[in-house]
């Protein structure tokens, strides 16, 4: 529940930033135009994201007869999660990883790389699949789309303001506030998209924590997911993969995630923090190694 509340607060902060910048730059008209344009782009991404992402990584659907054990795991977990069993796809990638995509229960897919099938044992893979089903159950694609829509609208407004300054708005701004007004405008152009991105990344990290928790409860084995994350983390840096940065947030482990201050700009929390939280959850659930 805590992660859900945090997501709502962060979405509210992102919306507040959008309203503030929109009113400051273009009033209600500019704000409405930006939101409509960003909404159209993200509407398309929301409805066709599963097909786009699966095609991008050359994924193919795994028929039941090819891996009945894998289908049985997903079906069992989906039943526990109370959602329809999604189709399973294989991504021809040596790097061990997995992701879920789609609009939500009934319109989703789970994808695993060939590398993760070779690396993890059955319990660890079950933990990873439960995590991905957690994303589907929690409708994280919808949440990510909402965040991307607002962040995209903010970027559009700032970009529009930048062109206004270039083509004549600068003199008016200088008359109103002199150099202080100009510096303020430049700070707005530089800092606002960064702040929006930090909030958007924070939302993504909250959803990862929530999927870890949801998946652990679905599988009943938080420690199996913790072991899987540790293995994946160690291998993901040894086996680089060509991952589109725009889809990196989908994977259970992001090779671009940072540590320390750089974690603010990462779509994923640090693996160490995720493992520690899973171990704490295991203690609360009475699950021991």
How does strand 98-104 pair with strand 88-91?
Answer: unpaired
pLDDT above 60 for 130: yes
pLDDT band (50, 70, 90) for residue 272: very high
Choose the most confident range, by mean pLDDT, from 163-167, 198-202, 226-230, 260-264.
226-230
Question: Helix or strand or coil: residue 11?
Answer: helix
> What span, in angstroms and rounded, lies between the C-alpha atoms of 128 and 125?
5
- Residue 171: what pLDDT? 43
Looking up tokens 């994350």 gives 229
Tokens standing for residue 158: 């700032």
Structure tokens at 235: 């291998």
Q: Give residues with Cβ within 8 angstroms of 132, minimum separation 6.
A: 98, 99, 100, 110, 211, 215, 252
Q: Which backbone phi and psi does 279 adopt, to 5 degrees?
A: -65, -40
Residue 210: what are its φ and ψ, rounded to 5°? -65, -40
Q: What is the pLDDT of residues 54-69, one digit of tens each?
A: 998 999 999 999 999 9
Which residues are known to be catalytic? 132
With a pLDDT cut of 70, the percent of the chain lying above it is 67
Q: Which residues of 209-240 are buried (b: 16+ CB within 10 A; e: fewer)?
A: bbbbbbbbbbbebbbbbbbbbebbbebbeeee
Closest CA to 130 of 236, 219, 199: 219
Residue 279 corresponds to which tokens in the numbers above? 């171990």
The pLDDT, as a whole number, for residue 174 is 45
Choose the most confident range, by mean pLDDT, from 85-99, 148-162, 202-216. Answer: 85-99
Mean pLDDT of all residues in the chain?
A: 80
SS (H, E, C) 169-233: HHHHHHHHHHHHHHHHHHHHHHHHHHHHHHHHHHHHHHHHHHHHHHHHHHHCCHHHHHHHHHHHH
Helices and strands counted in the chain (H then E):
8, 4
Q: What is the value of pTM for the model shown?
A: 0.77
- Answer whether residue 168 shows pLDDT above 80: no
- Is the model's pLDDT at 244 over the cut of 90? no
């Amino acid at each position: 529940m805590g992660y859900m509340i945090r997501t709502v607060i962060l979405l509210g902060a992102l919306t507040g930033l959008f309203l503030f910048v929109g009113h400051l730059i273009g009033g209600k008209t500019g704000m409405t135009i930006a939101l409509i344009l960003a909404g159209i782009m993200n509407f398309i991404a929301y409805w066709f994201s599963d097909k786009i992402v699966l095609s991008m990584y050359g994924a193919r659907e795994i028929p039941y007869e090819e891996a009945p054990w894998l289908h049985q795991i997903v079906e069992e977990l989906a039943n526990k999660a109370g959602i329809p069993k999604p189709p399973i796809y294989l991504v021809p990638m040596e790097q061990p990883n997995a992701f879920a995509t789609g609009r939500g229960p009934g319109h989703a897919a789970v994808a695993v790389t060939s590398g993760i099938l070779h690396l993890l044992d059955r319990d660890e893979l079950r933990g990873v699949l439960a995590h991905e089903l957690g994303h589907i159950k929690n409708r994280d694609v919808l949440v990510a789309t909402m965040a991307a829509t607002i962040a995209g609208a903010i970027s559009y407004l700032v970009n529009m303001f930048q062109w206004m300054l270039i083509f004549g708005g600068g003199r008016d701004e200088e008359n109103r506030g002199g150099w202080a007004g100009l510096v303020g405008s430049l700070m707005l152009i530089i800092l606002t998209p960064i702040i929006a991105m930090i909030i958007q990344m924070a939302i993504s990290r909250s959803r990862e924590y929530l999927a870890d928790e949801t998946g652990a409860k679905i599988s009943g084995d938080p420690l199996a997911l913790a072991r899987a994350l540790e293995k994946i983390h160690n291998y993901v840096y040894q086996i680089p993969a060509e991952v589109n940065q725009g889809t990196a947030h989908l994977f259970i482990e992001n090779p671009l995630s940072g540590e320390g201050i750089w974690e603010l700009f990462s779509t994923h929390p640090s693996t160490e923090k995720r493992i520690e939280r899973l171990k704490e959850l295991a203690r609360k659930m009475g699950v021991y190694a």
